[in-house]
Amino acid sequence: MFWNIIHESAYSFLMNGRSVKHHMDMFKKIQSHRSPRPKVDLSHGHSIAYSHSVTTRLMDVLDANGRGNVHGGVIMRMVDEAAAIVAIKHAHTGVVTARIERFDFLAPAYIGNVVSVHCALDYVGRTSMEVGVEVTAEDLFTGEVRHIASSQVIYVALDEHGKPTPVPPLVPADAEEAARIEKARARREHMKKIEEELAKLQNE
Ligand SMILES: CC(C)(COP(=O)(O)OP(=O)(O)OC[C@H]1O[C@@H](n2cnc3c(N)ncnc32)[C@H](O)[C@@H]1OP(=O)(O)O)[C@@H](O)C(=O)NCCC(=O)NCCS
């Protein structure tokens, strides 16, 4: 009964012509703020440090799962949002999530913890960008910081027509950045081979 009421309210809200028009107008307004887009200088690359970011949020009861810990989906959303910021900053244009290459939950986060999402580019292709992510949870009372998740997310930069568009190169600022990029390049080549083998097996 309760769900029927919710469902009917949502349905009538969506079917109300004025509400739909209002929302379409809102999306057009948001898009108009972003166009025309500035021309991206592809000859000028950026380092990993240029777009590196840390996003932090206090976990509250609305973030809980049935066990009373932080819901995995909350962490995944934080990761996708934080990593996208890195890709957008590097590309100077909008991006879409093309793939979650890995997502490892290593330990639970608890309500009251401060969750921090540390993101930095690993690798940049022609139009795609891989962002490496480490997630920590801090207990503010004890100061204990735990590594709770790791991820690698691939974004593709889009032009104003929604088509993949080239991004500036990733130029290492120092030996540490160069080593990170080389490691990611080798890992991507390895993954590509594994995928080709899997595709072959599936077609057998
Ligand atoms: C991602 C997307 C734009 C790719 O479009 P496409 O026409 O296949 O693009 P292309 O074949 O020209 O490939 C463009 C780049 O994306 C990469 N790519 C495409 N699909 C990919 C995937 N599933 N995983 C990893 N990389 C991918 C390609 O390797 C290429 O990289 P490069 O230019 O650095 O060499 C398209 O598949 C799409 O729009 N997907 C939906 C995205 C979405 O809705 N995400 C969720 C909400 S944000």
192 within domain boundaries? no
Q: Which of 93, 156, 195 to mutate to test the pocket of ligand 1 (most atoms within 8 A of CB)?
A: 156
Report if residue 20 sits inside a domain.
no
H or E element, residue 102: strand 95-105
**pLDDT value, residue 38:** 75
Residue 113 domain-assigned (yes or no): yes
72 C-alpha to center of ligand 1: Å? 25
Distance 26 CA to ligand 1 centre (A): 27
Contact partners, residue 21, CB within 8 Å, separation at least 6? none
74 domain residue, yes or no: yes
User: 86 and 131 in contact (C-beta within 8 Å)?
Assistant: yes
Cβ–ligand 1 distance for 192 under 6 Å, the answer: no
Q: Which atom of ligand 1 is nearest to the CA of 125?
A: 34
Work out how many domains the chain is built from and give that number: 1
Nearest ligand 1 atom to the CA of 80 is: 48
Q: What is the CATH number of the domain that holds 92?
A: 3.10.129.10
Structural domain includes residue 27: no
88 lines ligand 1 (CB under 6 A): no
CA of 98 to the centre of ligand 1 (A): 5
Backbone angles phi, psi at 120, to 5 degrees: -150, 145
CA of 68 to the centre of ligand 1 (A): 36
CA of 49 to the centre of ligand 1 (A): 25
Q: Which atom in ligand 1 lies closest to the alpha carbon of residue 98? A: 1
104, part of any domain: yes
Domain hosting residue 76, numbered range: 43-186
pLDDT tens digits in sequence order for the chain, 204 residues long: 334 444 444 445 455 556 777 777 877 776 776 667 778 888 899 999 999 999 999 999 999 999 999 999 999 999 999 999 999 999 999 999 999 999 999 999 999 999 999 999 999 999 999 999 999 999 999 999 999 999 999 999 999 899 999 999 999 999 999 999 999 999 999 999 999 999 999 998
* Position 173 in a domain: yes
Residue 57's region, left for phi above 0, alpha for psi from -120 to 50, else beta, is beta
Contact 32, 160 (CB under 8 A): no
Residue 3 belongs to some domain of the structure: no
The DSSP annotation for 26-47 comes to: HHHHHHHHT-SPPPP-TTS-B-
- CB 140, CB 68: distance < 8 Å: no
